[in-house]
Amino acid sequence: MSPGASDEEAVLLACSGLAQVRGRELRPLGPKGWASLRRHAQDADLRPGDLVGLSAAELEDRLGIPEEKAAQLAGLFERQGQLAFELERLGRLGIWHTTVESSDYPGRLLERLGSAAPPVLFGLGKREHLDLDGLAVVGSRDAPASVMEVARTAGAQAAQQGWVTVTGGARGVDRDSMRGAFEAGGSVLGVTADGLERHLRDAALRTAFTEGRATYVSPYRPDAPFSVGSAMGRNKLIHGLASVVLVVHCEDGEGETWAGAIEALKAGWAPVCVHDAGASVAGNEALIRRGGRRLKEDGLGDLPGLATVKESVATNPDDDAQEGAQQTLF
């Protein structure tokens, strides 16, 4: 056994994909796989770090798992040298990490997602943004100009309230809400659907990371390419990290924005407010019928604070189900 292996190191070896060897790739564990492994370890009175360095036969015997799974784990756990090399390289780039076994993992994600929380998060920028109140601004990439103005205003007013603006960092609504936050002197928390290394090539973002105005996180390895599946998978993180969600534009029954909002409404993680864009945006109206809180057309400009929505949920939860309930954010 490798002495002194930490539980954090065990997560990174098993779940991050960082220690892959070209031509000998092993599929890393996802959230369910890690949760299952941790339960097996606890049943055997072992820490996850105790598993690092055990042979496949030892893992099979002590954990009571199938031979094939034991061989996969043994292969993942034996790559400590490669992991150390990759972590050092990422550190030079400014990319940090946290795991479900780390004390600085965002508690909001653990509370809301439970065993579905990503075992590893990679990050750029200030870690502290992960634990601040945040307004998630979500919407279509190709929304009309009037909607982009709503997103920009939302980002600006979140900044004025001292909240971070949580986005997916994509073009369209995401970027316009970021622009509004930055112009108002605020901060942004982006959850990306690809690896973080690509975003270091954006000079403006690099400056924002350095100045502490932006944080980007991703559950995917830092060199991962974008994929539609990854974009859908990160939705729960955007909603899971936010204190309040604002949907500014949504297609009816399809797309990332719709899927993420429906998941958040069903889970009840945070209030989901929907911009009242009129009947022309069928997806917004459909979300309101599903329980989204209608945000009045003028609701972005004249109200006292984001806490209004949070407190209304805590003190009057029955109102949350009222179809078409009028809400304001600021």
SS (H, E, C) the chain: CCCCCCHHHHHHHHHCCCCCCCCCCCCCCCHHHHHHHHHHHHHCCCCHHHHCCCCHHHHHHHHCCCHHHHHHHHHHHCCHHHHHHHHHHHHHHCCEEEECCCCCCCHHHHHHHHHHCCCEEEEEECHHHHHCCEEEEEECCCCCHHHHHHHHHHHHHHHHCCCEEEECCCCCHHHHHHHHHHHCCCCEEEECCCCCHHHHHCHHHHHHHHHCCEEEEECCCCCCCCCHHHHHHCHHHHHHHCCEEEEEECCCCCHHHHHHHHHHHHHCCCCEEEECCCCCCHHHHHHHHCCCEEECCCCCCCCCCCHHHHHHHHHCHHHHHCCCCEECCC
Residue 61 has pLDDT above 90, yes or no: yes
| 36 vs 302 pLDDT, higher one | 36
| Residue 127: per-residue pLDDT | 95
| Residue 183: per-residue pLDDT | 96
- pLDDT tens by residue, 185-222: 999 999 999 999 999 999 999 999 999 999 999 999 99
Mean pLDDT value of segment 99-106: 96
| Residue 297: per-residue pLDDT | 56
- Say how far residue 106 (Cα) sits from the centre of its chain: 10
| Residue 147: per-residue pLDDT | 86
Instruction: Name the pLDDT band for 26 (thresholds 50, 70, 90).
Output: confident
**Domain annotation for the chain: domains and CATH numbers:** 7-85 (no CATH), 126-327 (3.40.50.450)
Residue 321 has pLDDT above 90, yes or no: no
| Residue 329: per-residue pLDDT | 55
| Residue 326: per-residue pLDDT | 46
Mean pLDDT value of segment 83-87: 96
Instruction: Name the pLDDT band for 330 (thresholds 50, 70, 90).
Output: low
Residue 172 has pLDDT above 50, yes or no: yes
| 231 vs 49 pLDDT, higher one | 49
pTM above 0.75, yes or no: yes
Range scoring the smallest mean pLDDT among 179-183, 231-235, 241-245: 231-235
Distance CA 37, CA 252 (A): 39
| Residue 146: per-residue pLDDT | 85
Instruction: Name the pLDDT band for 140 (thresholds 50, 70, 90).
Output: confident
- pLDDT tens by residue, 263-309: 999 999 999 999 987 777 899 999 999 999 988 755 554 333 454 54
